[in-house]
Structure 1
C-alpha cells in the first residue's frame, strides 16, 4: 500500500547507495559525511527500500548529533519509515524515537524545537504523540515566535487526528487564550486559523470582539478573516453589519491582495447596489495602480 509523504526527491536508480556504505558513514564523526549518508538513506526509502539494518545505527550515531542539517534529515527519515506493524500497532523501537523527540522539544536551540514541532504535524500515530503532549503545550509559551508558531500548528494537527480531541480536550480554549495574548502576526494567524477550522464559534467571537483592530492585523490573518466572513455571513444574520464594517475597513489596508479579496467578498455576499459599486470601484483602482 502506498504511503503519503511530504518529500519528493529525484533519485537515479542506476547508482544506488549501498546500505553498508551508508552505515559506515553514519558511524563516523564527520557531519558532512553523515549528511550525505542520511540523504542517500532517505532517497532509498522513498524509492521502496526498507533498510531495517540502519535503524539502530541511526539511533546510536545520528540522534545525538547537534548539527541542524543532520537533525532535519533525521526527521525526514523518521517521517518516511514504517512506525507500525502489520496490525497497526506502533513498533516497540519507536519508544527510542519518542525520547529523542521529547528532548528536541525541550532543546535550548529554537530551530531544533521548531522543526520538531513541524515534524509532529505529519505524525498520525497517537501512541507516539501522546507522551509528547506536555512538551508540545509548553512550547506555546516559548519566548521565540518561531517555536510558538509551530507549536500552534502541532496542536492544530494533533487535534484533527481521529482521536485528537481526547488527546487535547480543551485545545480550542487553550488556543483562544494564546490568541488573546500573542503578539507575533504569523502565530496569531495560525491560532485564528485553528479556531476557524476546529471551533468556529470561538473564531467568530474573537473576531467580533476585535472588530476595530482587524485593520492592524497582518495580511495573512486578514485573509483568514475574510475567508471566515464568507463562510458565516449568511448564517449570522444579526452580525451582518459588523462583517460589512470589517470588509470596508480592510479596503484601506496597504495590501493589494487583501483589497482584492475584500472586493470579491463584497460581490459574493451582497447584491445590493452600494456594495457592488464599492467592489467595482475597488477593482478599477487596483487596475490603475
Structure 2
C-alpha cells in the first residue's frame, strides 16, 4: 500500500485558489499547512489500525490524510458544502489506496443525529474554535462507543477542558467533559502552522473514555446543577442553586445531605459531588 501524500503550504493554497476559498472566521476556518503537525496530532491521539475515527471540520483534508495513514476508517463531518464537495477528490488524488476507507457527512456537527458506517472508536479533529466545546460534548453524548480522542482547540479552551477542581480555569466545560472522560492537556500548537494564522494560540486536549457516574438522575439534571453553580461564580452554592431547589433553604438542605458545604462554590467540586447534589435536589423537589 502506498502511503498517502500529505498537504503542505503549496497544496493548501492551490486547493484554496481552485475553490476561490476565502477562509471565514465565522466557521473557524484556519487550515493546517504543516505535515509534521498533523502527524504529531495523529501520533498523540494513539489511533491505530483498528480505529474508526470521527473527524470534525476536515476542511481541505490536511488531518484527514494523516489519519488515513493509520486508521481503519475515517468519517469526516464538514459543514461547508464547497469544502465537502472537493474532499473526496482530494482523498482520491493523495491517498488512492485509502479512498474506500473514507466517509463524508455534509452537515453541522452540532446537529448530527447519527453517523454512517461502523461504530466510531476515536474522535480526532481540529475543531472550529467558536463551537469547539459544544461540538465535543455533543459527539461524546451521541457516540458512546468512542474510547479516546484528541482535539485541537483554542489554548484557553484547552486549559478549561483539562482543568481540575480548585483551579482558576475550572468551569462548566471541565465538569461536563469529566462526565464522559478523563481529560488532559497534550501540548501546544504554534500559530505559524495554519493558513491563515489565527490570532490566538492553540492547544491539544487528549481524553480517554470512562463510564458515566452511576446515578438515578439523568445527565441533563446533573448538567443543570453544573450550569446553575457556575452562572454566578462568586455566589455560594446555597444561593446559586436556590432556583433549582425551590429556595435557598431547600438548596442548603440538599447540599448538606450531599455532604457539601452550602457556602462552597462550584469551582471547588468534582463531577461526583455534582451528581450527589442533583440526586438530593430531586428528592427535595419531588
**TM-score, length-normalised on structure 2?**
0.29
| Structure with a larger share of its residues in helix | 1
Q: Which has the higher contact order (CA 8 A, sep 6+)?
A: 2
Between structure 1 and structure 2, the one with the greater Rg is: 1
**TM-score, length-normalised on structure 1?**
0.29
